Amino acid sequence: MANPTNLSRRMTLSNIVQAITTYGPISRASVAKMTGYSKQTVSEIVSSLEEDGWVQTVGRTEGNVGRRAVVYEIVPDAALVASVDLGGTKVRVALCNLSGAVVAEVAEPTCKDGGEAVVDQIARMVNGATSNLGIAPSKIRVAVIGVPGVPDLETGHINLAPNIIGIDRIDFSSLLRVRLGIEVIVENDVNLAALGEHWMTHQGDKDDLVFLSIGTGIGAGVVIGGQLVRGATGGAGEVGFIPFGADPTEPESLKVGALERVTATSAIVGGYQQETGMQKTVPEIFDAFVAGEEAAAKVLQTAASYIARTIGAIAAVIDPNCVVIGGSIGAREELIRMIEQEIARNFPRSIPVEASVLGNHAALAGGTAVALSRLHIALFARDLPGANIVVPPPEIETFQEGAA
Amino acid sequence: MANPTNLSRRMTLSNIVQAITTYGPISRASVAKMTGYSKQTVSEIVSSLEEDGWVQTVGRTEGNVGRRAVVYEIVPDAALVASVDLGGTKVRVALCNLSGAVVAEVAEPTCKDGGEAVVDQIARMVNGATSNLGIAPSKIRVAVIGVPGVPDLETGHINLAPNIIGIDRIDFSSLLRVRLGIEVIVENDVNLAALGEHWMTHQGDKDDLVFLSIGTGIGAGVVIGGQLVRGATGGAGEVGFIPFGADPTEPESLKVGALERVTATSAIVGGYQQETGMQKTVPEIFDAFVAGEEAAAKVLQTAASYIARTIGAIAAVIDPNCVVIGGSIGAREELIRMIEQEIARNFPRSIPVEASVLGNHAALAGGTAVALSRLHIALFARDLPGANIVVPPPEIETFQEGAA
DNA sequence: TCATTAGTTCGTCAACTAACCGAACTAATA
DNA sequence: TATTAGTTCGGTTAGTTGACGAACTAATGA
């Protein structure tokens, strides 16, 4: 009964499920008031949902005048989704239930053989997580994979992912779909991180958000109106290629990006070496800066200036509510302070800049958001025009650093 | 009857109107096939639409096997919209009917008194156009005004519009709404131009489009997924403020934009003066370039390079399908050739760049698109979730240069 | 050439079903 | 006793299905 053929019934069902999901636990009378449907219609649909195991009672109201209301909520474990963050060095898998809670999380070093071996690894980790918990694998309905590259929706290849060999020559999503037997969505990891930050911390009032990841490279995920912007060729957010900073006509700039050459790891390490003749890692340079070393300050200042100007360029094009900064370099509070100062010097208005709250779990959270939204649509809003169910995020701790 | 209370009836009505609008003239049987509704339902709704004067028969099919079908279309003049392009020197007003055809167009020099005098002028021009044609003013349902500034939706002020004095201190949209007695939508002119180019020439396959206007200033209109991107503070597309090009920390850069200083009129005129000591206008410099003068070539080349890098920056952030270039400088074919070459030198992949087809009528076309879409929603899709009716554009000549 | 017949499509009518609502009711509680 | 929750029942509306007549084209045969 949870999948009526009729369009208007599906719409009603979808609206009622959305209300229970967002405001649950909630009584049928309240749902009726909120949605505008009659109590009787709500009762009818809620009982069909209960029969099919999608909602359950969780007690009754108390203390109010009048008859006590029976209160319903979504059955959290009625279905699960898998969110996978496939990194160059580590694979993270989280199984989440319908309320966004993580029921299992595992991490492993990425299989160095690349290609199909990685597909095998992910499938094994996802299935392993269910069997450990004694959950039927069929409970998992959707898997979202964050990958460090640009997925080609037509061929299933993942391009520009130098860290995982051979993944640009296999139909990654189809192979994984066959292996897992469920719907598989492949998305760039920075894009997912942007969606994750938006879902967990910036929903509602601030619907235009850019997640800027700064580490060995620099890249952004762009969310406008709550929707991810991928671009015509999947190249949206490749801000390292903004043709300013280093001379954009040099071959190296065309290869890694003119702006990436002055903002990412190599710029800081290289700049420090030029300044001092010494080879230090980025964390070491930050330590030196905190200890008051002038060369370190100068190098970081230069990077911060270019990063600020990158943010200015982004703001000039799409004017987001907020820029969230993450990545191994971007996560440093000291750097964010400098970036804020540099924005004030280089751009006519202020741009809200924040440190990522989710750290290296942002992509995992974003994958969960995408998977849950997709699952809700598949379950309760099939073929509905303009359907875009927003699942409320779980507690922030769920996805915070150190959870795995 | 054209405004049923019931949600599902409204949805059906909206779908059927959309089908007739898009594919009309069309028979009821064809509408039934296309929409999936039964012939009866379609007949019922079409006759109520006919009764209310929204659709009309336009003959019958012929030549096909079987009974001849009665063919319907939207009554083009059942309602009108006004599209107004308020420029610093000129006010253009176009009255358009439901099929996008321009039924009247007038232009006047902008009233120099600014402020409320301009509101008066627009109201007079709109109402004057109807009385000239002997049309009841009540036929006009929506007016969209393109303005050279950033409209503040809350106060109704229009900020950053130095060419029209006092317009940043009055509630422009409310005043005009009262004067015209209809719904008034105020939007930045470059944004409307972007929507106009998208509507008339790039609908469907190419839904991510940026319109780049280059003249006394440089600015862009950003369309993603067919929707206009305004940004959190209405500042999306202010690409002149990208903090590269001129030194962004200089006061002048913070005032007019670092990139504007090296791409717009003053950069070309100033550059030419520095190069030759002579003061020439931009058209004169273009003429000199065509005549083979080296100094002119060098100056234009430099501007083209920075414009190309601006486009590269846009592409790196949102990766549009296409960048359409307009404005008094941007319209020059010679410049577009140079820009294309410079993009190839400065950016790792090609970016489709095109000259504006609509010229200085782009904003007028965009205003019409917005007004018609808004009107259709108000008439046939009130309060429908995800309603976004797309009115098919008229013949391209309708809005092409020289029409007024 | 022209009537006849077959096949196709359009559009309407009648009967039916699904969805939803409103009103009246029962139940529970401060 | 007022108020809120939830159910039952009957009715309205939207939309479907299927049968059918009307209108047409195309092929056929005298």
- Spell out which residues of chain B touch residue A386, defining contact as CB-CB under 8 Å: 385-387
Rounding to the nearest 10 degrees, give the CA dihedral for residues B314, B318, B320, B325: -20
Q: Which residue bears the tokens 């003066």?
A: B273
CB-CB: which of B248, B322, B348 is closest to A241? B348
The pLDDT confidence band at residue B4, using thresholds 50, 70 and 90, is low
B63 touches strand C (CB under 7 A): no
Measure A397 CA to nearest chain B CA, in Å: 28
Q: Which residue bears the tokens 């995992």?
A: A364
Q: What percentage of chain B has pLDDT greater than the value 70? A: 98
- Spell out which residues of chain A touch residue B345, defining contact as CB-CB under 8 Å: 248-249
- Spell out which residues of chain A touch residue B262, defining contact as CB-CB under 8 Å: none
Higher pLDDT, A236 or A206: A236
d(CA B46, CA A103): 54
Beta bridge partners of B182: none
Residue B6 main-chain phi, psi, to 5 deg: -70, 135
Residue B288 has pLDDT above 80, yes or no: yes
- Protein footprint on strand C: which nucleotides are under 7 Å from a CB? 7-14, 18-23, 27-30
The pLDDT confidence band at residue A3, using thresholds 50, 70 and 90, is low
Structure tokens at B33: 């096939």
Question: Helices B172-180 and B115-133 sit at what angle, rounded to 10 degrees?
Answer: 30
Question: Which of B38, B259, B319 is best to mutate for the A interface (most A CBs within 10 A)?
Answer: B319
Rounding to the nearest 10 degrees, give the CA dihedral for residues B243, B249, B254, B258: -40
The DSSP code sequence of A89-116 is: SEEEEEEEETTS-EEEEEEEEPPTT-HH
Question: What mean pLDDT is predicted for residues B70-80?
Answer: 90
The pLDDT confidence band at residue A404, using thresholds 50, 70 and 90, is very low
Question: What mean pLDDT is predicted for residues A72-96?
Answer: 94
Measure B207 CA to nearest chain A CA, in Å: 9
DSSP state of B319: -
Structure tokens at B263: 């791409």
Higher pLDDT, B27 or B276: B276
d(CA B270, CA B277): 9
Burial degree of A148 (CB within 10 A; 0-12, 13-18, 19+): buried
d(CA A168, CA A163): 11
The pLDDT confidence band at residue B95, using thresholds 50, 70 and 90, is very high
| Inter-chain touch A238–B314, beta carbons under 8 Å | no
A6 CB contacts (<8 Å, ≥6 apart)?
none
The pLDDT confidence band at residue B3, using thresholds 50, 70 and 90, is low
Question: What mean pLDDT is predicted for residues A363-383?
Answer: 92
A47 touches strand C (CB under 7 A): no
What's the pLDDT at B31? Answer: 86
Beta bridge partners of B120: none
What's the pLDDT at A114? Answer: 87
- Spell out which residues of chain A touch residue B242, defining contact as CB-CB under 8 Å: 244, 312-313, 316-317
Residue B7 has pLDDT above 80, yes or no: no
| pLDDT tens per residue across span B161-218 | 888 888 999 999 999 999 999 999 999 999 999 999 999 998 876 789 999 999 989 9
Cβ atoms of A363 and A85 closer than 8 Å: yes
Of the ranges A2-6, A51-55, A368-372, B24-28, which one carries the lowest mean pLDDT score?
Answer: A2-6
A65 CB contacts (<8 Å, ≥6 apart)?
none
Sign of the Cα torsion B161, B164, B165, B169 reads: negative
Radius of gyration over every alpha carbon of chain A, rounded to an integer in angstroms = 23
- Protein footprint on strand D: which nucleotides are under 7 Å from a CB? 2-10, 13-18, 21-26
**In Å, what is the CA distance from A47 to each residue of A13, A35, A56?**
11, 17, 9
Superfamily of domain A78-181+361-399: ATPase, nucleotide binding domain (3.30.420.40)
What's the pLDDT at B401? Answer: 59
Query: Looking at domain B204-357, which of 3.30.420.40, 3.10.580.10, 3.20.20.150, 3.20.20.140 is its CATH number?
Result: 3.30.420.40
Cβ atoms of A315 and A348 closer than 8 Å: no
Q: How many CA atoms lie within 13 Å of B280's alpha carbon, on the beta-carbon side?
A: 21
Q: In chain B, what's the furthest Cα-to-Cα distance? A: 79
Cβ atoms of A16 and A8 closer than 8 Å: no
Structure tokens at B53: 């004067």
d(CA A191, CA A194): 5
Residue B404 has pLDDT above 50, yes or no: no
d(CA B334, CA B323): 16
The DSSP code sequence of B167-211 is: TTSS-HHHHHHHHH-SEEEEEEHHHHHHHHHHHHH--SS---EEE
CB-CB: which of B234, B236, B318 is closest to A236? B318
Q: Which residue bears the tokens 């009659």?
A: A38
d(CA B122, CA B307): 35
Cβ atoms of B213 and B190 closer than 8 Å: yes
Read off the amino acid at residue B29. Answer: A
A72 CB contacts (<8 Å, ≥6 apart)?
A20, A24, A25, A26, A27, A28, A46, A50, A55, A56, A57, A58
| pLDDT tens per residue across span B126-142 | 999 998 888 888 899 99
Question: Whose CA is closest to B216, among B157, B168, B179, B265?
Answer: B265
The pLDDT confidence band at residue A341, using thresholds 50, 70 and 90, is very high
- Spell out which residues of chain A touch residue B224, defining contact as CB-CB under 8 Å: 224, 229
Cβ atoms of A217 and A234 closer than 8 Å: no
Task: State the distance between the two ends of chain A, measured CA to CA, in whole angstroms.
Answer: 39
Measure B21 CA to nearest chain A CA, in Å: 19
The pLDDT confidence band at residue B5, using thresholds 50, 70 and 90, is low
Closest nucleotide to residue A8 (Cα to C1')?
A: C19
Beta bridge partners of B323: B210, B353
Cβ atoms of B159 and B173 closer than 8 Å: no
Length B59 CA → C4 C1' (Å) = 30
A165 touches strand D (CB under 7 A): no
What's the pLDDT at A217? Answer: 92
CB-CB: which of B235, B259, B315 is closest to A319? B235
d(CA B132, CA B135): 8
The pLDDT confidence band at residue B62, using thresholds 50, 70 and 90, is confident
Residue nearest to nucleotide D25 (CA to C1'): B65
Residue B136 main-chain phi, psi, to 5 deg: -65, 130
What's the pLDDT at B6? Answer: 72
Q: Which residue bears the tokens 């995408």?
A: A370
Length B68 CA → D24 C1' (Å) = 6
The DSSP code sequence of A50-62 is: HHTTSEEEEEE--
Higher pLDDT, B372 or B16: B372
Structure tokens at B356: 């504006």
What's the pLDDT at A163? Answer: 86
Question: Whose CA is closest to A227, among A150, A330, A147, A318?
Answer: A318
The pLDDT confidence band at residue A1, using thresholds 50, 70 and 90, is very low
Domains A78-181+361-399 and A204-357 share a fold: yes
Residue B48 has pLDDT above 90, yes or no: no
CB-CB: which of B234, B318, B386 is closest to A231? B318
Cβ atoms of B116 and B158 closer than 8 Å: no
Question: Which of A5, A212, A229, A244 is best to mutate for the B interface (most B CBs within 10 A)?
Answer: A244
d(CA B273, CA B291): 18
Question: What mean pLDDT is predicted for residues B242-267?
Answer: 94
Question: What mean pLDDT is predicted for residues B106-119?
Answer: 93
**Domain A7-74 class, CATH top level:** mainly alpha
CB-CB: which of B255, B313, B386 is closest to A317? B313
| Inter-chain touch A347–B235, beta carbons under 8 Å | no
Q: Provide the residue ranges of all domains of chain A, joining segments of one domain with +.
A: 7-74, 78-181+361-399, 204-357
What's the pLDDT at B2? Answer: 55
Cβ atoms of A301 and A340 closer than 8 Å: no
- Stated length of chain B: 404
Cβ atoms of A355 and A189 closer than 8 Å: no
Q: Highest mean pLDDT range out of A67-81, A284-298, B148-162?
A: A284-298
The DSSP code sequence of A310-379 is: HHHHHHHHH--SEEEEEHHHHT-HHHHHHHHHHHHHHSSS---EEE-SSGGGHHHHHHHHHHHHHHHHHH
- Spell out which residues of chain B touch residue A8, defining contact as CB-CB under 8 Å: 7-8
B7 touches strand D (CB under 7 A): no
Question: What mean pLDDT is predicted for residues A55-80?
Answer: 87
Higher pLDDT, B369 or B380: B369
Question: What mean pLDDT is predicted for residues A276-284?
Answer: 94
Across chain B, what does the average pLDDT equal?
Answer: 90
Higher pLDDT, B382 or B314: B314
The pLDDT confidence band at residue A403, using thresholds 50, 70 and 90, is very low
